[in-house]
Every structure is written in structure tokens, then in C-alpha cells.
Amino acid sequence: MPVERTQTGVPGLDEILFGGIPASNLVVISGDPGSGKTCLCLEYLYMGATKFGEAGVYISLEEPEEEIIKTGENFGWDIKKAMASRKLAIIAVELYDFDKLKNTIEDAVARLGAKRLVIDPGVIFRLYFERELDARKRILSLAKMLKRLGCTAIITNEISLDKTSSLFGLEEYVADGVVLLYHTKLEDRFVRSIGILKMRGTKISEKLHPIDLSQEGIKVMAKHELFEEVT
């Protein structure tokens, strides 16, 4: 039976996902600072709104709405037009109350009939909880709610230098997929790349692919492997 998929619209990404993210999957995108997480997430929502007619919600736990809009405009995306046509909502959440966060997400998704959701950055979840056990339970409840809403959701996570920035087991136990973005120094230059660590419900590329981040957004070089590209 064919898998229902959500095409990201990000050039090359759907190719290494063999057609896109299985619909209603919860995906964690983890990456180094400057690796392109926010750009990828915003491109995912904007392409959904303008290319596939799917409304999306961007929950920002750190940046104000104006900064997210400016980021999109830097890539030539008319974010304000997508918002005006109710195909995109950007909501900055400042209160560290997990129940209010869940209610905000549920209300926004229902209001737009959204099929796509981004929560950025997920590392802020650490400010919501004092005990890890509480965090695991509540994040699991969030994942169940997103499944019920029928959204194909992305939560970002920043990989720290000591590589110990797990989102309370979200990546290992709760998420359907984990995508890794790297911003690595190779010889005399920095190279961006992407790898699919896991993705429930679909075949994936097991290679590390270079990324081109230009004025038009992110493009995954699906035909190339990272080290063959940079040597």
C-alpha cells in the first residue's frame, strides 16, 4: 500500500526521502549553529503554502515574528502574502508554560486547518521543566497531540559542542524521523551537509549529502555524497 507523503518542496530533500516525509510524522531536525535549520523549516512551510496548498504554522520559541518574516524575505519569499492568505501563521511564544504552548499549537492548527507545523527551537523545552521525567511525559503528550491533529511536524534541536543536547529522549524514542544538518570545516572552507538518521515509514538515503544555501534557500545535492563533492 502506497505511503501517503508530505512533500517538503525543498529541492533534493524529497529525493533522499524517496518522495517526502510520511504524512503525520514527527521529525526532529538537529544541527550545528549556522547549519540552516531555520531556513529549512521556513522553506518547508512556505513551499507547502505556495506550491502544495497546505497551510502551516511556525511556532517560534526564541525569535520574534518580525525576524522570522525578515529571514524569509532574505530568500525572496513573500511571507506576508502567505500569512495574509491564511496559508501561514507565525506565532512567537514567550511564556514558559507547556500546557499553554500545547493549547496555542492546537488552536493555531485548527484555525488554519494546517497540515504542517514547525516548533523552533526545541531546545527551549529545557526551560519548561525542572525534572527530566516530567519533560519526557509532557513531550510524549505533545507528540500524541500532533498525531491527532494530523500535522507533519518538525521540531528543531541545536547540537551543542559537547553533543549532549538530547531533547529528553525525543529523538530516540518519540520522533518518527531524525534529520541531521552539519556545518563543518573541511580544509580551508566550511561545508553544509544533510543526513537522514532515521525516518519511519519510508526508505531513506544512508549517505551524507552536501547542501547549497543560496539567496533562493536550501538545495540538497541529492546526486552527490559529501566527501566526493568536496575532495
Q: How far apart (Å, rounded) are the C-alpha atoms in residues 149 and 71? A: 28
Contact residues for 228 (Cβ-Cβ < 8 A; gap 6+)? none
- Asked if the model's pLDDT at residue 226 lies above 80, the reply is no
The domain tally of the chain equals 1
Name the residue range of residue 25's domain. Answer: 5-230
- Asked if the model's pLDDT at residue 2 lies above 50, the reply is yes
Question: With contact defined as beta carbons under 8 Å apart, do 42 and 77 qualify?
Answer: yes
The grid coordinates listed for 88 are: 501561514
- In degrees, to the nearest 5, what angle opens at C-alpha 153 toward C-alphas 94 and 196? 120
Q: How far apart (Å, rounded) are the C-alpha atoms in residues 208 and 101? A: 34
Count Cβ atoms below 10 Å from residue 180 Cβ, excluding itself: 19
| First and final C-alpha spacing in the chain | 41
Looking at residue 158, its pLDDT comes to 83
Give Cα separations from 230 to 126, 170, 207, 209 (angstroms).
Answer: 36, 33, 14, 11
State pLDDT tens for residues 139-148: 889 889 999 9
Between β-strands 152-158 and 116-120, what pairing exists: parallel, antiparallel or unpaired? parallel
Q: Which of 180-184, 203-207, 227-231 is least confident?
A: 227-231
pTM of the model: 0.92
- The whole-angstrom distance between residue 227's C-alpha and the CA centroid of its chain comes to 25
Question: With contact defined as beta carbons under 8 Å apart, do 160 and 154 qualify?
Answer: no
Q: How far apart (Å, rounded) are the C-alpha atoms in residues 136 and 130? A: 11
Q: In this structure, what CATH number is given to the domain that contains residue 98? A: 3.40.50.300
Q: Which residue has the cell 521543566?
A: 129
Q: What are phi and psi of 50, to 5 degrees?
A: -100, -25
Looking at residue 13, its pLDDT comes to 97
Question: With contact defined as beta carbons under 8 Å apart, do 108 and 118 qualify?
Answer: no
Question: With contact defined as beta carbons under 8 Å apart, do 43 and 79 qualify?
Answer: no
State pLDDT tens for residues 51-91: 999 999 999 999 999 999 999 999 999 999 999 999 999 99
Give Cα separations from 72 to 43, 44, 67, 151 (angstroms).
Answer: 8, 11, 9, 22
Q: What are residue 120's DSSP bridge partners?
A: 60
